């Protein structure tokens, strides 16, 4: 985003919805806040501020991926890992972790050094379960950051018909209506509720 041109727009959004200070939040590969946009995130100027959405109903739960792993015998400092991911209710999932991968399920070799990996998982609404294997040169725990879009809370798209009463849907639908009116429909706005977390294996 070009702040010289769009600064007033960012300020207007922050003025209406901000529950704390606005800051420039240019992403890096080690910052998982923008993994759902990687690698496009490297080319965007991004901003962050806290929100104050309506409180959640006591019985509301966000969709959450199920991540199961089996650890085979560690040989010469190489951990052999098998994973089963269940992304039911989520789309465009991303896994990010730092490791030296010796081999994995893809049909191409991994980079030959320790680095941060971003895996775009090929899951779909009809096929949400994905299996993955990799051998990693380490005996230490590995932090796997996951993030994905909530299928029911995407604006425009699913929110109005699949999740109109969900907290982020309500917030994003109202934002979309306000922004469309304020800027006379000149913006192509895409908003999504995102689920994120960390699993240590």
Residue at 84 is within a domain: yes
Beta-carbon contacts of residue 61 (< 8 Å; ≥ 6 apart): none
- Give yes or no: residues 77 and 1 share one domain: no
Same domain, residue pair 98 and 191: yes
Predicted TM-score (pTM) of the model is: 0.85
The answer to whether residues 20 and 79 belong to one domain is no
Helices and strands counted in the chain (H then E): 3, 10
Residue 2 pLDDT > 70, yes or no? Answer: no
Does the CA dihedral 48-50-53-57 come out positive or negative?
A: positive
Work out the number of other CB atoms within 10 angstroms of the CB of residue 60: 10
For 63-66, the CB contacts below 8 A with 24+ separation are: 63/88, 63/89, 63/90, 63/150, 63/151, 63/152, 63/195, 64/195, 64/197, 65/90, 65/93, 65/146, 65/148, 65/195
Instruction: Convert the pLDDT of each residue in 106-154 to its tens digit.
Output: 999 999 899 999 998 877 778 899 999 999 999 999 999 999 999 888 8
Claim to verify: residue 130 and residue 183 sit in the same structural domain: yes
Query: Do both 117 and 28 map to the same domain?
Result: no
Paired with 66 in beta bridges are 86
The answer to whether 118 and 96 have CB atoms below 8 angstroms apart is yes
What's the number of domains the chain is made of? Answer: 2
At 152-172, the pLDDT tens digits run 888 888 888 887 888 788 889
Closest residue by Cα to residue 117 from 199, 198, 35: 35
In a domain, 57, yes or no: no
Q: What is the predicted pLDDT for the residue at 86?
A: 95
Distance CA 162, CA 129 (A): 21
Q: How confident is the model at residue 98 (pLDDT cuts 50, 70, 90)?
A: very high
On the question of pLDDT at 73 being above 50, the answer is: yes
Q: Which two tokens stand for residue 155?
A: 């604006």
Within a domain: residue 122? yes
Position 27 scores a pLDDT of 66
Note whether 184 and 119 are same-domain residues: yes
Range(s) of the domain holding residue 141 = 64-201
């Amino acid at each position: 985003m070009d702040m010289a041109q769009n600064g007033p727009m960012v300020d207007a959004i922050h003025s209406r919805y901000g529950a704390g200070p606005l800051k420039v939040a240019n992403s890096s590969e080690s910052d998982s806040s923008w993994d759902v946009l990687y690698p496009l995130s490297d080319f965007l100027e991004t901003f962050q501020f806290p929100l104050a959405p309506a409180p959640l109903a006591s019985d509301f739960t966000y969709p959450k991926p199920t991540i199961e792993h089996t650890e085979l015998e560690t040989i010469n400092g190489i951990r052999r890992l098998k994973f089963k991911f269940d992304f039911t209710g989520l789309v465009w999932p991303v896994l990010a972790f730092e490791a030296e991968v010796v081999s994995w399920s893809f049909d191409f070799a991994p980079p030959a050094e320790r680095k941060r990996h971003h895996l775009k998982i090929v899951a779909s609404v009809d096929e949400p379960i994905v299996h993955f294997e990799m051998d990693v040169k380490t005996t230490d725990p590995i932090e796997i950051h996951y993030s994905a879009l909530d299928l029911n809370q995407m604006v425009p798209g699913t929110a109005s018909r699949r999740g109109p009463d969900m907290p982020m849907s309500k917030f994003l639908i109202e934002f979309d209506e306000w922004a469309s009116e304020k800027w006379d429909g000149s913006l192509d706005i895409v908003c999504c509720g995102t689920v994120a977390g960390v699993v240590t294996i």
